[in-house]
Structures are given as C-alpha cells and as structure tokens.
Amino acid sequence: MEKQKQKSAAVVGGGLVGAMNTCYLSSRGFKVDLYEARPDIRTMEIVRGRSINLALSYRGRQALKKVGLEDQVVQDGIPMYARMIHDLNGTLRPIPYGKSDQYIMSVDRRKLNETLLTAAEERPDVTLHFQHKLVSCDLEKGKLTFKIEPANGDDSLDQTYQRNGGEDVHVEVTTDLIMGNDGAYSAIRKHMVKRPRFNYSQEYIPHGYMELTVPPHNGEFAMAINYLHIWPRNEYMMIALPNQDKSFTLTLFMPFDMFEQLKTGDDVVKFFMEKFPDSVPLIGEESLKETYFRLPPLPLVSVKCFPYHVSDKAVIMGDAAHAMVPFYGQGMNCGFEDCLVFDEIMEKLDSDLSKVLPEYSMYRSPDAHAINDLAMYNYIEMRKSVNSRWFLMRKKVDAF
C-alpha cells in the first residue's frame, strides 16, 4: 500500500493557543512549523505583554490533559475557591465559586507559555521559528511571508541582517494547513476580513486596564491566598490573583477618562485612599505612584467573526477568532478548548481538511460567540452585581 504523504502545518503565533495547537498537530502526524513574531520568551529577561497571571478553569484543563500537560501546569498553580469581596469600609466577604472542593486556578502566563513551547519543541517533526512576523499571505494557496525581526544578541539572525545590508529579510513558505493563532489583532484574520461573506465585528469597551503589585509582606502573602480578590465599585473595579512568589498581581479596570483624570502621584494616592483604602498599605504609596505612571492603561477589545476557515487551507483559533473582554476569565480557556474541539473533529473526520475546517467553523462558532457574550455580561456582574443581595443566592463555577 502507498504510504500517505506527511501533511505540513504552519502555526502563526507562539502564544498560549499556538503553542498548544503545535502539540496537538504534531500528535496528529503533521510536520509543524511554528512562527512567532517575538523572540523566544524562554531566553528573555523581561517579557512585556498582557496579564501576568491568568485564571485556568475546567475547560482549559481538559485541553491540557489531552496533551499530557495538566499535572505539570496544575502543580505550579494556586487554587482560588472563592471571590473575596473587599467592601469600601474594609469588610471582607467570600463568595464561593461552587461546592467547597471546586476552584479555579491562578497560573503564571509566562511560565505556562514556556511550558507549552518546550512541550511543543519536544514533539516529533516540530520546528519553532522566533522573530518571524507574518506580513502577508495567500490563504487559498497556503502561502505565507514572514519578515525576520532583527535580534539583539542572536548571532545567527543578526548575521542574516548584516548579509542583507540592513534591509528587511523575508522568508516565504507554503504549507498544507495555516493555523492562525496570532491573537486579538490577528494578521491572518485581517486577510479573511477582505473575503466575501466573512462576518466580522469588534467592540472596544470604554474601560482600560492597568496592572499593579502587592509584594509579599514579611515573606508571606499579604492577603488571604486562595481567593480571587475583587474591589467592586460599580463603574470600575480592581481584582487581584495570587502568584507563586507570594505577591499578588492587581488589575485595575476603569474607564479611560477616569485614568486620564489622575495626573500626579498625589492624585493617584488620594483616589486609592478614597476608593480602595485597604489596598494602599498593601501596595505601598511610593510603589503605587511609580507603577501607575510606568505604562499607559491598555484597551480591551471583543471580536466576533464567522467563518473561522478558508477552504481546506486556513483556520483561526484563540483570540484571533474570538478575542473577548477578560471578565469571565475564559479567553485562554476557550482558546485551549478550541484546540481540543478541533482535534476531536480531526479524529471524527479522519483528518480530511476539506471536511474538518467547515465542520469546525459550524460547530465551534455558536459556543465561542456565547462565551464572548457571557464575558461582556460578566463585565457588569463583577464590578456591580456582586454587590447586590440576589447575587449571593446564586451558585456559579468556572467563571471569575
């Protein structure tokens, strides 16, 4: 019998979803090349980007389990059994997520990404290409063009630059499957938008976010550890998730015009003393003044689109397909579940991409759109409804 030719896949984006998809596609026998615009985060001192830690929940764990990584990831996570509400008068109120043994887990984004990249690299027929930024593509033909980003300290890439006299260096590849996992501002999706009958909507909410830190106090966590702390103040809110190093990462979600009204360090301290008084001694006044102005608040976008694929050649997943506001704690979890669902459809349809890709779009989009809507709803619930009496009567798990 004639041996089937090995199929190739180009995964664009080496974030959480791209790295996980690489593991799945390798397990399905693909020759996988992953292309990531940034340098290898495993070799970097400081990695800039979004949220330092994330809430991992059931759907994300199921996807990790299938590629054999659940135990490794969970052992470094910190369980959060309840929300801990910080009222203005300093009262603390826990609201459990579910039964006493149910929890979501705080995990370190960088560590998780590194774990997934290393796991991907160890699989058969996988090559990781860093500093490769997708600049154009022909989705129908499976053709991709990457610009090689110059690298400080990476000899091989710097030499390529020198050879080219400092001009941009481009690499072209052709592949059987383009897997677009390049995040909320996806370059692959931008190409899909130009196609007829592609539905697309995006919404920026008026709120932005900023991260602050509560360092350890006397070598210990400064607040109760196994909780997702929330300071709900109706129009805005602050949350805190615990880290392995005994610090907490605080995230302040607030309308941009409110951020802009705080112009000096003293304005910031005054605002925090009025609105989040119990947090000020934990953060420290000097640190608060300094961190608040270090980086501008970042925007939050929600994206819906359909379909997720082009013929039998290209498909988008994760934030590229359904970026959502972070208030349901499900962006990554949903992206991980995308990989699992796609793999199950591959199994069912014998990896026939002409059938798998349309089936994936049809099957996955209603669920992804629903989670997107729930995230938008939880935007109000977290900052406002947790203050109401009826909320306390309800039982919920798997969300923030």
Give the residues lining the site for ligand FAD (CB under 6 A): 12-18, 35-38, 50-51, 54-55, 133-134, 181-183, 187, 209, 251, 318-320, 326, 329-333, 335
What share of residues in the chain are helix, strand, coil (percent, to 5)? 40, 30, 35
Q: Which is nearer to ligand FAD, 307 or 331 (CB)?
A: 331
Helix (H, G, I), strand (E, B) or coil at 191: helix
DSSP-assigned letter for residue 335: H
Residue 341 backbone dihedrals phi, psi, to 5 degrees = -65, -45
Q: 215, 247 in Cβ contact below 8 A?
A: yes
Q: What angle do CA 265, 270, 274 make, to 5 degrees?
A: 150
Indicate the burial class of 262 (C-beta count within 10 angstroms; 0-12, 13-18, 19 or more).
middle
| Closest distance of CB 91 from ligand FAD, Å | 25
- Cα–Cα distance measured from residue 110 to residue 53, given in angstroms and rounded to the nearest whole number: 8
Closest residue to ligand FAD, judged by C-beta, is: 15
Closer to ligand FAD by Cβ: residue 103 or 209: 209
CB of 288 to ligand FAD, least distance (A): 19
Q: Which is nearer to ligand FAD, 145 or 287 (CB)?
A: 145
Please report how close the Cβ of residue 143 comes to ligand FAD at its closest, in angstroms.
15
Distance in Å, CB of 9 to ligand FAD, minimum: 15
Plot region of 333 (φ>0 → left; ψ -120 to 50 → alpha; else → beta): alpha
Nearer to ligand FAD, 269 or 317 (CB): 317
CB closer to ligand FAD out of 110 and 355: 110
Smallest distance, Å, CB 171 to ligand FAD?
Answer: 12
Residue closer to ligand FAD by CB (options 55, 269) is: 55
State yes or no: cis peptide before 307, omega within 30 of 0.
Answer: yes
Please state the closest distance from residue 234 (CB atom) to ligand FAD, in A: 20
